[in-house]
Amino acid sequence: MSLPQTPSGGTRARDRELVARHGSPLYVYDLDRAVAARDALREALPESFTLFYSLKANPHPGLVRALAEGPGGCRAEVCSPGELANALEAGQEPGRILYSGPGKTAEEMTAALAAGVRTFSVESLGDLERLGAQATALGTVAEVLVRVNSAAAAATTSIRMTGTPSQFGIDAETLPELMPRLLAVPGARVVGAHFFPLSNSRDEDSLIAEFTATIESAARLEREHGLPLQVLDIGGGFAAPYSVPGERPVYTLLRTALEKALDEHLPRWRDGSLEIACESGRYLAGDCGRLLTTVTNVKHSRGRTFAILDAGINTLGGMAGLGRLLPLAVEPRADGTDGGADGGPELTNVVLAGPLCTPGDMLAKAARIPAPVPGDVLAVPNVGAYGPTASLLLFLGRPAPAELLLRDGEVVSASRLTTSRAEIDTGAR
């Protein structure tokens, strides 16, 4: 396991101060870093592109609001009633929100339409027909992006989202036959296409190849099969390190490559008659967040050292459904002490275990850190994306971690997610 550079004494003292004041475990989000990530992605894209922030990465309203502020602000992409509520709380205009996802129910479609959302990505003919029916019942028309599951993949790396049998998108080879039915659904107007074939691509060449293939495919669907194309969302795939040290990749070739592909296949994008959009979650939010966690106990078992933390998979689950992304890395002891003869910390292999009553609650199997003692505050870097809401928050009923927002190094917000059980009407008499 790699370790980040030892934090300065001031950083260690600041961590101890934040934990003393706000408790542990504790997520700390630096809004200035999030805005810097947004500006860096803006610089890597053609100037006229629309940029959506995907709330699945981190739906904290304060973060959503910060990413939307100022020139180049992000619009919101949501895929649940809860994410929609957070976007609206953050001040997002409902008419500029994109509602996506493969499992939209009729009830949530109705609620979104009633709130003023008008743009939806649909994953199938059935999804579109349900949306049209709800819009008709409310006396309105929904604008629709048809999500396309491309038949082949151009990228050689990353997490694949399409290109295989999938719940995401309409299979590209079926679109010619389906197009007349898609265009005839009452209450819905198809205005474009939505692609999202991959996620977390650090390889710029692969990302460019995928985007180029997407642009070519969209142009062909418009030209040969009559897909209306006023909006083209080419998706994302922008990478960021997760729970380990490292920097966001810099995409130096992307802007020129995108402009070339669009000029060749969809040249009217230059005059603004075709809106081109991208979306991102982890790239925008990932490196703004750190998790502070405290060692509550240290034990030795059959030759191994276990540091029991107050944060576990209920706090940093790493999207457990996708497989936790081990190993994570933590910064050295927050008290600044060390035992190395050269003045550096003497490192040892330590199992980092969480507080839950399950052997699966393990954050690292062999972290190389200074010998831990109870009370140490450890920091996990690059966890601004896929933190609390991607974790098993309800498992075993422990409190959710507190979440802080920093601006210019100062705390501007402190909050904690809470849950409660509410009675529902069963209809029984």
Reported as a single tens digit per residue, the pLDDT across 57-67 is 999 999 999 99
335 burial class (0-12, 13-18, 19+ CB within 10 angstroms)? middle
Neighbour count for residue 197 (Cβ, 10 Å): 29
141 vs 187: CA distance, rounded Å: 5
**For residue 398, pLDDT beyond 90:** yes
Confidence check: pLDDT of 163 > 90: no
User: What pLDDT, on the 0 to 100 scale, is given for residue 301?
Assistant: 96
CA distances from 303 to 161, 296, 350, 358 (A): 42, 20, 11, 21
Neighbouring-strand partners of residue 403: 27, 415
Segments in 296-357 forming alpha helices (H): none
pLDDT at 429 exceeding the cut of 80: no
User: For residue 319, what are the CA distances in angstroms to 81, 192, 316, 385?
Assistant: 19, 30, 8, 10
Q: What is the mean pLDDT of residues 11-35?
A: 95
Radius of gyration of the chain (CA): 23
How confident is residue 150, by pLDDT bands cut at 50, 70 and 90? confident
Among 283, 382, 325, which residue's Cα sits nearest to residue 56? 283
User: What value does the mean pLDDT of the chain take?
Assistant: 89
What pLDDT sits at residue 346? 86
pLDDT tier, 196 (very low <50, low <70, confident <90, very high otherwise): confident
Do 34 and 60 meet the contact criterion of CB atoms below 8 Å apart? no
> Residue 399 has what DSSP assignment?
P
The residues spanned by each domain of the chain are 9-27+287-416, 31-284
- Interhelix angle for 81-89 vs 106-115, to 10°? 10
Q: Could you report the per-residue pLDDT of 291-328, keeping only the tens digit for each? A: 999 999 999 999 999 999 999 999 998 754 444 445 57
The partner residues of 362 in beta bridges, in order of sequence, read 353
CA neighbor of 199 nearest in space, from 230, 139, 158: 158
CATH class of 9-27+287-416: mainly beta
Phi, psi dihedral angles at 65 (to 5 degrees): -65, -45
**Residue 11: what pLDDT?**
79
Query: Which is more confident, 122 or 199?
Result: 122
Work out the burial of residue 84: count CB atoms within 10 Å of its CB; fewer than 13 is exposed, 13-18 middle, 19 or more buried.
buried
- Report how far Cα 298 is from the mean position of its chain's Cα atoms: 34
pLDDT confidence bin for 5, thresholds 50/70/90:
very low
Least confident of 161-175, 220-234, 300-314, 315-329: 315-329
Instruction: Spell out the residues 6+ positions from residue 238 whose beta carbon is closer than 8 angstroms to its own.
Output: 41, 200, 201, 207, 249, 251, 280, 282, 283
Calpha distance 96→81 (Å, rounded): 16
Cβ–Cβ under 8 Å, residues 179 and 225: yes
104, with CB counted inside 10 A (0-12, 13-18, 19+), is: buried
Name the percent of the chain lying above pLDDT 70. 88
| 279 in Cβ contact with 51 (< 8 Å) | yes
| CATH architecture group of domain 31-284 | Alpha-Beta Barrel (3.20)
The DSSP call for residue 25 is S
